[in-house]
Amino acid sequence: MAKNTVDAYKIAKEKYAEFGVDADKILETLKKIPISIQCWQGDDIGGFEKDATNISGGILVTGNFPGKPGNIEEFRKDTEKAFSMIPGKKKFALHAMYGDFSSNRINLR
């Protein structure tokens, strides 16, 4: 069994090679393809300017997944960590509800 991510990648790389897939080459190709990351992927559409229990809309979310950031600083750290681990160019779609308004909360309604 793999002890860490590097070991797991080595095992996966070997398995893919059995099918003629060069995992390293694919990762190099992926580095050239920009991806778009939506801000809601960081906190399940809760935002930091309103009570997450008031979430409504066309998609089902809970607003309380385990590890959800509790404030804008935690959200930034989570985003920076994710970006450091995702190869290639990235675009980040950020909504106003993730604005940093410090202690001056605003009413978005």
Nearest CA to 98 among 85, 83, 108?
108
pTM: predicted TM-score of the whole model, two decimal places: 0.53
pLDDT tens for the 109 residues of the chain, in order: 557 888 999 999 999 999 999 999 998 888 888 888 877 666 665 666 555 455 555 555 555 667 777 777 888 888 888 888 887 788 888 766 666 666 665 555 5
Helix (H) or strand (E) holding 8: helix 5-17
pLDDT tens sequence across 11-40:
999 999 999 999 999 988 888 888 888 776
